[in-house]
A = this chain, B = another copy of it.
């Protein structure tokens, strides 16, 4: 199985701007990537990073500056083995959660993200393709079924949590087991509860 971790190296995580400046967002995105790669290493798969521009990393990096759909669909079309894609901002991904993803049966195994996204998948069907625009989980179910494939969905809070907005950082502080949570604490990012909503502040 080929395991790919797409990484947006160019101005990553702009929606975290209320909490982190541009340099910090870039650094934090790299820490999350490192956590995801560590978890994949523990599972025993051999991930390749698919980056939008060259990055300095001590492991295989494929650079492809096309939009994500085109880059992933190029890989899917070219691969003669199953392909797994795991997003680089799954700061809560643990080896156990990823094990469940890889162990699940089905031609297409989807790990839904909160908000309708698709945070990770395993494609064992040659005709599966991605369409990450908007609520992609619905499109991916449809694409898999239209191709005649069976679909399995992984029920994982950890894999459902991609980090885009300040409130997502609260999830990392509450449940993170990797370096991303430590990085946030080191940067002075703290949990706060306002009007019954948990988010973060940086006093």
Interface of A toward B, CB cutoff 8 Å: 15, 94, 96-97, 112, 114-116, 134-135, 137-138, 155-161, 164, 167, 170-171, 174-175, 191, 193, 196-198
Q: Which of B97, B158, B197 contacts A115 (CB 8 A)?
A: B197
Q: Which of B112, B157, B164 contacts A112 (CB 8 A)?
A: B157
Q: Is A135's CB under 8 angstroms from B171's CB?
A: no
A191: which B residues are within 8 A, CB to CB? Answer: 116, 135
Q: Is B96's CB under 8 angstroms from A174's CB?
A: no
Q: How many copies of this chain sit in the oligomeric assembly?
A: 2
A170: which B residues are within 8 A, CB to CB? Answer: 115-116, 135
A167 to chain B minimum Cβ distance, whole angstroms, is: 8
- Of A114, A135, A138, chain B has the most CB atoms within 10 Å of the CB of A114
Q: Is B114's CB under 8 angstroms from A155's CB?
A: no
In the complex where A137-B174, A198-B135 touch, is A114 in contact with B157 (Cβ < 8 A)?
Answer: yes
- Of A15, A138, A175, chain B has the most CB atoms within 10 Å of the CB of A175
In the complex where A134-B193, A135-B191 touch, is A116 in contact with B174 (Cβ < 8 A)?
Answer: yes
A160: which B residues are within 8 A, CB to CB? Answer: 157, 160
Q: Is A138's CB under 8 angstroms from B174's CB?
A: yes
Once the chains are docked, how many angstroms separate the CA of A112 from the CA of B157?
9
Once the chains are docked, how many angstroms separate the CA of A159 from the CA of B155?
9
A114: which B residues are within 8 A, CB to CB? Answer: 114, 157, 161, 171
In the complex where A157-B112, A197-B115 touch, is A174 in contact with B135 (Cβ < 8 A)?
Answer: yes
A94: which B residues are within 8 A, CB to CB? Answer: 155
Q: Which of B134, B158, B167, B196 contacts A155 (CB 8 A)?
A: B158
A165 to chain B minimum Cβ distance, whole angstroms, is: 8
A135: which B residues are within 8 A, CB to CB? Answer: 170, 174, 191, 193, 198
What are 22 contact pairs spanning A and B, CB under 8 A?
Answer: A15-B196, A96-B155, A97-B155, A112-B157, A112-B174, A112-B175, A114-B114, A114-B171, A115-B170, A115-B171, A115-B197, A115-B198, A116-B191, A116-B193, A135-B170, A137-B175, A138-B174, A157-B157, A157-B159, A157-B160, A160-B160, A164-B196
